[in-house]
Structure 1
Amino acid sequence: MNIMRMLSKKRFLLILGFASLGLTFGYTKNTAKADTNGSIVTIATKTQFPDTKSPSFLYGRGLVTTHTSTKYNGRLYATSEHYVNDTPTFLIFESLNNGKTWSKISEIKDTHNFASNGRAWGNRYQPFLYELPEQIGQMPKGTIICAGNSIPGDLSKTSIVLYYSTDHARSWKYLSTIATGGYADVNTTSNGPVWEPFVNVVDHKLVCYFSDERDKPAHSQKLSHRVSIDGINWSNEVDDVAFKSEQARPGMVTVAKMANGKYIMTYEVVNSGEWRTNYKISNDGLTWNASDEGTRLAYGGAPYVVVMHNGDVVANTDGSGDLYVNKQNGNGAWQDVKISMPLAYSRSLTVLPNDDLLIVSGGPLKSPTDPNSNSLTSMIYSFK
């Protein structure tokens, strides 16, 4: 969700409602021993970029390279939403020492969408970084791609666009537009926005999962995906999660392949006065049974899920700073693991080659009128 969406009345009232009911946001079925290893490292602050305005950074995303040459494998990358007075871009940061320090190496400017006055819309919300594990179309294995939401300053349109880099994130080129939607506001009554892309390669195809508000009033929001064999031409939408309730808002999807070959999907759900994270499982990552509303994992939203090399499934939400761990391919209990990194809005998880986790945080939810700014931060967390 963008900042307008996050601070809409639906979430504000939900937070107040949970507080008044005495509900906590860290619900799980089991609890594991807390582990607070790792230190928080600052990637970027408002003072580094003069045009930055509050809340400065949100929606942190990380990446580790594992499919390029030996020289470049193991490099860490990070990005986030970056709030500015002028035209926004996605800033790209790199670490060459396993997250101890970070440097800005590039930015992804909007080179595709322009207003009538010739001004670029800007790459504004929800960037997502991904390294291709195999060749897709003309893009070789190891290509870094970024999907994000290009939106004009008046928020009148939304456009999920795809950029790619073949020089280790130093320069970027526009590749394609995955989906387009209407005004970037949850209060639209028809032709709403598209949000929150998540990209993965499934069965040798590039898949983009996203939140879709264009099917109003039948669905306030649903989750869909499109498929491409070349990253340029995209299939029609396929619904993945569409609640029976017209008011339900499943969103912020993430997907990971489990050790048994099946896929797990996490997503937040706002429905009937409840704000929670659900998950469900697919045999092939492309067939999800949209009418299956899933199983609750925890209270809170903005989830992220990954699978460790040892097969453990790890997730988090913005309802707590905890990690949730499942050792049975999504079946049975989820353990609650306490970590020292504070909760954040849409905090990303990236599995490193040694089974540590790179956690990238754009900080907690903040209003555009909040005088305080978030920093973009990271942590390397080890379960060992």
Structure 2
Amino acid sequence: MKLNKGKGLLFSLGVASLGLSLLGGINEKVNADSSTPITTIASKNQIPGTKSPSFLYGRGLVTTHTDKSHNGKLYATSEHYVNGTPTFLIFESLNNAKSWKKISEINDTHNFLANNTPWGNRYQPFLYELPEKIGKMPAGTIICAGNSIPNDLSKTSIDLYFSKDHARSWQYLSTVAVGGHADVNTTSNGPVWEPFVSVIDHKLVCYFSDERDKPLHSQKLSHRVSKDGINWGNEVDDVAFKEPAARPGMVTVARMKNGKYIMTYEVVNSGEWRTNYKISADGLNWNASDEGTRLAYGGAPYVVTLHNGDIVANTDGSGDLYINKNNGDVRAWQDIKTNIPLAYSRSLTVLPNDDLLIVSGGPLKAPTDPNSNDLTSTIFSFK
């Protein structure tokens, strides 16, 4: 959820004072300092036209399904705050995140104002590489899902763009969902937010946060499925709390070693801000009335599965990582203490050797905050 759309609750709770309190089942707290030095991907001074807070909501990607000459390349993007029309900047690293280079940007070529000015690709980008052919897109095609929003924040549109040339150029693919004003205070026809894309059962799935079902649900989590990336099926609810004011959001999903799927999401409800998770047999049926199990206090989570089967999750309540070696069993979580700085919505990307690429847009800031975040990366190893 965006601060400018009503996340003032974060300040009343106090991110630093929340701490990280996990439910029973934590076997131990393990200290770990296995991260490489933090590398700056982009800063305000490097990108002309950037304004404070500069960067938020960092996302990373490693290519693993293209030809050998492109395997192992790292990519990163984030929200980028500018004086004009925003775009999603795409950065590439060819040396395991030791340095980064801007290689392209994704302009909004689908949504336009009456004067033919594009809305702008503004919030919550997500990068994904197709592991297999979907529609006319071959394996190795890179997808960017993000939120197109005009300057007055009057509308929201989760749009997909694709690149077949290793993120050098981009084309509009399709729109998954269109919502109202980018503000949590809407009473009806609210916004759509925070897309997360995956291929499940040979289909493209886009999970997202949905505020269009007010007043029944202030926010819920849903998904749509497409066989070709263009035509999308009916919306399916994944998490819908009984309490109308509850706000599950910022969904991420990973396939576990037993073939089932784990979903993490933040919950803002009754003065509490936490991360929940739950498990699905097939990644498409989640029993929306199941509100899940609390993993930790703090929100903006991310979850991945290592090649060895270990599940790793985080939240923005601290720099900790949480590891589970038993397919999400509530009794099997371990708290991995790290020196990685606290940040809002850090992404976790599993590298071929089971290290993690962590991309961060820095601490949570309002769009009017005069201070700037850098977009940064680090590599974390469990070895």
Whether 2:14 is the aligned partner of 1:32: answer no
* Alignment: residue pair count: 379
Match of 1:333, as an amino acid? A
Give the equivalent residue in structure 1 for 2:345.
346
CA contact (8 A) 1:79 1:90 kept: yes
Correspondence for 2:244 among 243, 246, 249: 246
Give the equivalent residue in structure 1 for 2:185.
187
The Cα shift of 1:11 comes to 2.7
Give the equivalent residue in structure 1 for 2:13.
14
Give the equivalent residue in structure 1 for 2:79.
81
Correspondence for 1:95 among 93, 113, 131: 93
Give the equivalent residue in structure 2 for 1:140.
138
1:70, 1:107 → 2: CA distance? 25
Whether 2:119 is the aligned partner of 1:121: answer yes
Which structure 1 residue ranges, 5 or more long, are not aligned?
none
Give the equivalent residue in structure 2 for 1:2.
2
The Cα shift of 1:35 comes to 1.3
2:28, 2:38 → 1: CA distance? 24
Give the equivalent residue in structure 2 for 1:209.
207
**Percent pairwise identity:** 77
CA contact (8 A) 2:132 2:138 kept: yes
CA contact (8 A) 1:26 1:320 kept: no
Correspondence for 1:330 among 315, 328, 331: 328
The runs of 4+ residues in structure 1 deviating greater than 6 Å are none
SS in 2 for 1:11: helix
CA contact (8 A) 1:2 1:126 kept: no
The Cα shift of 1:39 comes to 1.4
More displaced 10-residue stretch of structure 1: 86-95 or 365-374: 365-374
Deviations 1:327-370 (A, max 9, x none): 10000231111222201100000000011000000000112333
1:69, 1:195 → 2: CA distance? 33
Match of 2:361, as an amino acid? G
Report the TM-score, using the length of structure 2 for normalisation.
Answer: 0.97
The Cα shift of 1:31 comes to 2.9
The Cα shift of 1:13 comes to 2.4
Deviations 1:286-318 (A, max 9, x none): 000000000000000000000001100000000
1:99, 1:118 → 2: CA distance? 38
Give the equivalent residue in structure 1 for 2:295.
297
Which structure 2 residue ranges, 5 or more long, are not aligned?
none
Give the equivalent residue in structure 2 for 1:177.
175
CA contact (8 A) 1:26 1:322 kept: no
1:124, 1:171 → 2: CA distance? 18
1:306, 1:348 → 2: CA distance? 9
Give the equivalent residue in structure 2 for 1:69.
67
CA contact (8 A) 1:26 1:319 kept: no
Match of 1:35, as an amino acid? A
Match of 2:4, as an amino acid? M
